Structure formats: structure tokens, C-alpha cells
Amino acid sequence: MNQTAPVAAALPPRTGQERSYGIDFLRCVAMFMVVVLHIFNRGGAAEALRASTPAYQITFPLRILCAGAVNLFGLISGYVMFNSRFKLRRLLELWFQILITGLALCIVGVLVCPKDTTGQVWLRALMPISQREFWYFSAYVGALVLSPLVNRGLSSMNRTQTLAVLWGSVLTFSVASIWGYCVVGDPFGIKSGYSALWLLVLYIIGACIRKENLLSGVKSRWLWLALAASLAVSLGLDDLHRLAGWTALGSIQLANYVNPLQLVNGVCLLVLFSRLPCRSKGVRNVIRFFAPLSFGVYLIHVHNTCWVWLEGRFRFLTGLPLWQMLPALLGCALAIYLVCSGLDWLRCLAFRLCRISRLCGWLEDRLKTGFLKIIRARPGMGTK
């Protein structure tokens, strides 16, 4: 399955710091973008759109914008978790969520579509990390292990050094990588962004933005203008690809996570949403409710049981009049988002009743104790 995924959406804000409701809202928006993208791709809407039609021209920038949702989650991770302590219990809670959600949906799959719920599907549910059931989570674990090293390194750097790391990461793993894809292939093994390496790069970029408060002096209207210009350039490059036959500028490259245009989109949205005041108590309560459920939305709607149902399901949208198509598409995405949020809310209630959080805390203590015994053991003290 070619899935887009958010693990950062499941992480709470750093302890001891003021909650950023703008960033929490961005988690919700990014997950909604993931659902929209899957309606286009898995749902068959993009394939059914004919190039050069008004519907294609209007929806293409939306597809490109939604393709950058993965980058948003990576940037959010670095922005939120910079200079914070890594807690194993967070990762354990996510693993339990993946395991229970996967097994529950497998049971539903046996009842609804038994032919598609194969032994391999059950194996992926039981071993989600090693089987890459959700590629983002597997890659995220790899990046998260190195996050304390990144945080400590960036904290010890001055502004000049931090900016050097930032620009070096962007030029090497975004600009040079996308050029490599157009010419020779994958020069750094970054796998179009489907890798722990790219998530680590995004983490570094987000952490640098937070550490140095970058773009704080840039007015919001200029950031919105940069975002609009990036989407316009993407649309123009797609036209060149189709009309002039520039194969290197195909849509697959424009939607590539490492594309510099995608990175510009993500950074602009990150900074813009970080500025949202969210002073209304009602709005804060809504954001506080939906933000922790975002990861569950992903887990549910890309699980094999739902993924099979999604295939080609939304081709009919392209047959609607233009003024109806886009609202209908967004409405379908919102319905999926809300239904999955409701199901994950039920899962949260079950976890509270079973005290899963307390169990993860106990496991964290036991694992830490065992690990400390190993690293503090003296050499040469083995049995004779």
C-alpha cells in the first residue's frame, strides 16, 4: 500500500511549555489533507480526471498541496520535540494503538471481505513495524531514535552553525536529490521521502525553525504569497510536462516528498499555523478533542479492510458539474475523517478503561532498569 501517514499527530505537546493550538490545528488539517489525497489516488478521482480540463486545472494544485502532508508531520515533529526528552512510553502507546486497531479491523475484515483478509494481512497487524504495515511509523521509529542526538547537537550550536546545517540539509537532501531523480536516480537512497533519512531531515528543519525562530520577521501575507507561487509553479511545470513532453517534470516528481516546492509548502504552512492565536475557548476545545485522534484517522482508513473499500470508490465525483465536484470531494473526505475520529475516540475510551497508559509507564520503567543494568555491567564479569 502506498500510504501517507502521520505519527507526529499522535504526540502531545512538550511538557512544561505552552500548548500551541495553531500547531495542533495543523495536525488536524494535515490529516484531512491525507484523506483528500487518498480519495484522489486510491479512490480513483485523479485517474478519472482528463488533463487540460477545468476540473483538472482546479484540482491539481489541491493534490500537490495535499501531497506535502507527510512533510508537515515531519516538520511538526522537529518543531514540537526540539530540546525535549524522549519518552519511551509515548512510543509504546503508539505501538499498542497500532496493534489493537489493526487486529480489530482484521476481525471486521473477516466479516466484511474475508477474501481480502489474508494471512499476510494478519501478520502485518501482529508485526506492524518489521512488516512495514504503516511505512511512516516504521521510518518514524528510526528517526525518533536519533532525535536526542539531533536535539543535543543543535542546542550546542550558534545561529550561524544552525543555519549551515539547515541549508546543507535542504540543498543536499532536497535540491540535489530531486535533481538526481530527474537525471540518474536516487543518489542518497532517500527513496522519494519514504525513509527514516528523510523524516530525520524534516525533523532537523523543523527543529532549526523552532530554535532560531526563523521567518518570524516575515509577514504572513508574504508566506501566503510564497505558498500560492509554489503551487502556481507546480501547475506550470505540470503543463510543460504534458504539452512539451518534459518527462523529467512529470507529476510523480512534483508530488515527490523531497521536491523543494513541497518543502516550501510545508515550511510556509508550519510558520503560518504557528501564528494562529486560537483565543476562543470553544475552538480550543474542538482542537483539543480532534488533534490526538489524527493518528487514529490514518490507521483506520488505510488499513487493508478500508483500503480495499476505497479503491476506485470516488470516480463518480469527476462526473459531477464543476461547481459540485470540489465541495462533494471535500465533503467525502470530511465524512471519512469524522467517522474515523469517532472510532478512534471509542478506542481511547477503551484504553482508559484498560489503563494502557499506566501499563506503558510500567513497561518503560522495567525496560529502562534492564537497559541500565546492561550498560553498567563491568566487562569480564561473566560466569566461568
Q: How many other CB atoms are there within 10 angstroms of residue 152's CB atom? A: 10
Q: What is the pLDDT of residue 14?
A: 41
Tell me the CA end-to-end span of the chain in Å, nearest whole number: 52
**What is residue 187's predicted lDDT score, i.e. its pLDDT?**
79
For residue 341, what pLDDT is reported? 95
Sole residue written with cell 518543531: 79
Q: In this predicted structure, what is the pLDDT of residue 145?
A: 85
Measured CA to CA, the distance from residue 344 to residue 155 in angstroms comes to 36
pLDDT score for 201: 94
Compute the distance between CA of residue 146 and CA of residue 335 in angstroms, rounded to an integer.
37
Query: What amino acid occupies position 260?
Result: P
Residues whose CB falls within 8 Å of the CB of residue 229, separated by 6 or more in sequence, listed in order: none
What confidence score (pLDDT) does residue 377 get? 62
Q: Using 50 as the pLDDT threshold, list the residues of the chain that sit under it.
A: 1, 9-17, 381-384
Question: What pLDDT is recorded for position 66?
Answer: 93
pTM for the whole structure = 0.87
- Predicted confidence at residue 318, as pLDDT, reads 86
